[in-house]
Chain A
């Protein structure tokens, strides 16, 4: 920068500085410990207002009592001691919305964590904000393609929906979310690019680094922002992380873009809030969580919405993750979040250990609004899938008495085995709409009944490859997600028969 330019900028800056009297609302530190500061004074401070200490440390006014204010500190390294001065700033916590955020790994206060510089300019979006009202919204009608057959067919997610991913540890919850982010590269069905925000809460830094590495490897970082608050970060930052991620998402949504926010996970978020609440001496309720733990998550997830065209037409889809203990989905936080969201994808340890991955329990999983966002083609092939699986599960117990079963039951079991096999899908390999429809159609129409179960996976990959090369026309039709009329079904059956001869 030239000296003249610098002088001009300084002059411009100084011209905006007011020379009138300045008011400051101050207080004095009474006690400090565990990231919580109690002060007197600050009678004019507002809830959630940023305050500044003598050493430059910033905090958030959290408990406003009759003659004291409790503040949560936003950093660990500070030299605050009893008697120190603290002043209010008149500002509330906010995130700056900018396209510069894409491809970056940042903290909840927008500090870069990837070792690169980050200078953000733009409108500030408050971390806490009222959710859009019903007038500004529109029904969910566009799908979020996850690329995972079981989800896209049976538990579809729509843009603007809140779909919970719930299950024990190591059942593949994060993997599903990451696969969904990776799949957005395809812009399947000609849909608009989905901006993804992955919010890591209370995770090990090594895990966060692995996720970032994988997204970079798959080329997904171009449209992704990672908001990370590790397990070693203060509880205050872990508490703020999902709100910061949502605020950043709202920037893109206001621009008319579609956004997906993954909250990984809200169980740890609830722990962080419980820690803060207990330190602030708020009354403890069930499982020592504070009374407003439901409101904490509901006000966060209520901000997911599909806006009407008048209000930009953007959307914010949420994929909150909840970790259960020993499969207990009736615990406090899981039931809270289940009741807030528009459906849940339930992952089971037993399924995972028996090799069914993704370990989705189709019986307990549901999507309350996603059906409206499904394409006609997918809806058509997906409908019998749930029935086939349900029938298979109810009859599976009789498998061990194989020879005593009547033919119809035996056929149902055999079909169920093949459908289950088709729904298995390796990690980081999401499929496009056409491939999903083709293989699910093959499974539910009985086209795979004469293929040995242990060769289903091989059949699937080779069949998809086959129609992609030999029947591009059919793929083009399936890609559009249109209804499978008799002509398309005949075409699919023909391709299946030709391929089976060579298989």
Chain B
């Protein structure tokens, strides 16, 4: 079993900024890694992708300037903009394991929770 730290280093060095993985590394891993090592590789890869990705959900229209402003906040990370229905306006930003809720749907859910 290859050590977790080594797998982690391999993931860090092979993951490109656009979210794709280096082809040579991918082939090496699939060819040589055992099941447990593959599982750990997959786990570390998921964690790394999560760390590098920011997802912004919104309903309706989000202006290009707003998008650029958001992108400038999360410099060095890939920002995905996703249109989501039933949010009732506002935004939901997920950066790694932090979720920032600033939308009507979540606000109402908070009210309902509070009343309950």
List the interface of chain A (C-beta within 8 A of B).
Answer: 10, 13-14, 16-17, 19-27, 30, 40-44, 67
Q: Does B30 belong to the interface (CB within 8 Å)?
A: no
Q: Are A17 and B100 in contact (CB under 8 A)?
A: no
- A-B interface contact total, Cβ < 8 Å: 51
Tell me which residues across on chain A come within 8 A of B111, comparing CB atoms.
14, 17
Residue of A nearest to B102 (CB): A21
A16 CA / B115 CA spacing, docked (Å): 11
Residue of A14, A21, A42, A44 near B114 (CB, 8 A) is A14
Residue of A nearest to B115 (CB): A10
Residue of B43, B50, B98, B102 near A30 (CB, 8 A) is B43
Q: Smallest CB–CB gap between A335 and chain B, Å? A: 38
Q: Smallest CB–CB gap between A140 and chain B, Å? A: 47
Q: Are B98 and A44 in contact (CB under 8 A)?
A: yes
Q: Are B115 and A22 in contact (CB under 8 A)?
A: no
Listed by A's residue number, 30 A-B pairs whose Cβ atoms lie within 8 Å are A10-B115, A13-B114, A13-B115, A14-B111, A14-B114, A14-B115, A17-B110, A17-B111, A20-B102, A22-B101, A22-B102, A22-B110, A23-B99, A23-B100, A23-B101, A24-B98, A24-B101, A25-B98, A25-B99, A26-B97, A26-B99, A27-B97, A30-B43, A40-B46, A40-B50, A41-B97, A42-B97, A44-B97, A44-B98, A67-B44
Residue among B43, B97, B114 having the largest count of chain A Cβ atoms under 10 Å: B97
Q: Are B106 and A22 in contact (CB under 8 A)?
A: yes
Q: Does B13 belong to the interface (CB within 8 Å)?
A: no
Tell me which residues across on chain B come within 8 A of A41, comparing CB atoms.
50, 96-97
Q: Smallest CB–CB gap between B107 and chain A, Å? A: 6
Q: Smallest CB–CB gap between A56 and chain B, Å? A: 12
A218 CA / B98 CA spacing, docked (Å): 55
Q: A40-B46, A67-B47 are in contact. Are A24 and B99 (CB under 8 A)?
A: yes
Tell me which residues across on chain A come within 8 A of B44, comparing CB atoms.
67
Q: Are A21 and B97 in contact (CB under 8 A)?
A: no
Main secondary structure of the interface of A (DSSP, over half): mixed
Residue among A14, A16, A21, A27 having the largest count of chain B Cβ atoms under 10 Å: A21
Tell me which residues across on chain A come within 8 A of B46, comparing CB atoms.
40
Interface residue count on the B side (C-beta < 8 Å): 18
Q: A17-B111, A17-B114 are in contact. Are A43 and B99 (CB under 8 A)?
A: no
Q: A10-B115, A17-B114, A67-B47 are in contact. Are A43 and B97 (CB under 8 A)?
A: yes
List the interface of chain B (C-beta within 8 A of A).
Answer: 43-44, 46-47, 50, 96-102, 106-107, 110-111, 114-115
Given contacts A24-B101, A25-B97, 12 further A-B contacts (CB under 8 A): A13-B114, A14-B114, A16-B114, A19-B107, A23-B99, A23-B100, A24-B98, A24-B100, A40-B46, A40-B47, A42-B97, A67-B47
Residue of B nearest to A88 (CB): B97
A433 CA / B93 CA spacing, docked (Å): 70
Residue of A nearest to B97 (CB): A41
Tell me which residues across on chain B come within 8 A of A44, comparing CB atoms.
97-98
A30 CA / B107 CA spacing, docked (Å): 29
Q: Smallest CB–CB gap between A467 and chain B, Å? A: 64
A21 CA / B98 CA spacing, docked (Å): 12
Tell me which residues across on chain A come within 8 A of B50, comparing CB atoms.
40-41
Q: Are A21 and B110 in contact (CB under 8 A)?
A: no
A43 CA / B115 CA spacing, docked (Å): 30
Residue of B nearest to A16 (CB): B114
Tell me which residues across on chain B come within 8 A of A42, comparing CB atoms.
97
Tell me which residues across on chain B come within 8 A of A17, comparing CB atoms.
110-111, 114
Residue of A nearest to B91 (CB): A21
Nearest 7 pairs of A and B residues by beta carbon: A41-B97, A21-B102, A24-B99, A22-B101, A17-B114, A43-B97, A21-B100
Residue of A nearest to B106 (CB): A22
Tell me which residues across on chain A come within 8 A of B115, comparing CB atoms.
10, 13-14
Tell me which residues across on chain B come within 8 A of A22, comparing CB atoms.
100-102, 106, 110
Q: A10-B115, A14-B115, A17-B114 are in contact. Are A43 and B101 (CB under 8 A)?
A: no
Tell me which residues across on chain B come within 8 A of A19, comparing CB atoms.
107
Tell me which residues across on chain B come within 8 A of A13, comparing CB atoms.
114-115
A68 CA / B60 CA spacing, docked (Å): 36
Tell me which residues across on chain B come within 8 A of A67, comparing CB atoms.
44, 47
Tell me which residues across on chain B come within 8 A of A14, comparing CB atoms.
111, 114-115
Residue among B46, B50, B98 having the largest count of chain A Cβ atoms under 10 Å: B98
A360 CA / B61 CA spacing, docked (Å): 80
Tell me which residues across on chain B come within 8 A of A40, comparing CB atoms.
43, 46-47, 50, 97
Tell me which residues across on chain A come within 8 A of B99, comparing CB atoms.
23-26
A44 CA / B96 CA spacing, docked (Å): 11
Tell me which residues across on chain B come within 8 A of A24, comparing CB atoms.
98-101
Q: Smallest CB–CB gap between B62 and chain A, Å? A: 16
Residue of A nearest to B101 (CB): A22
A17 CA / B115 CA spacing, docked (Å): 10
Q: Smallest CB–CB gap between A330 and chain B, Å? A: 41
A20 CA / B107 CA spacing, docked (Å): 9
A452 CA / B98 CA spacing, docked (Å): 81
Tell me which residues across on chain A come within 8 A of B100, comparing CB atoms.
21-24
Residue of B nearest to A42 (CB): B97
A42 CA / B96 CA spacing, docked (Å): 9
Tell me which residues across on chain B come within 8 A of A16, comparing CB atoms.
114
Residue of A nearest to B109 (CB): A22
A25 CA / B94 CA spacing, docked (Å): 10
Residue of B nearest to A43 (CB): B97
Q: Smallest CB–CB gap between B81 and chain A, Å? A: 18
Tell me which residues across on chain A come within 8 A of B47, comparing CB atoms.
40, 67
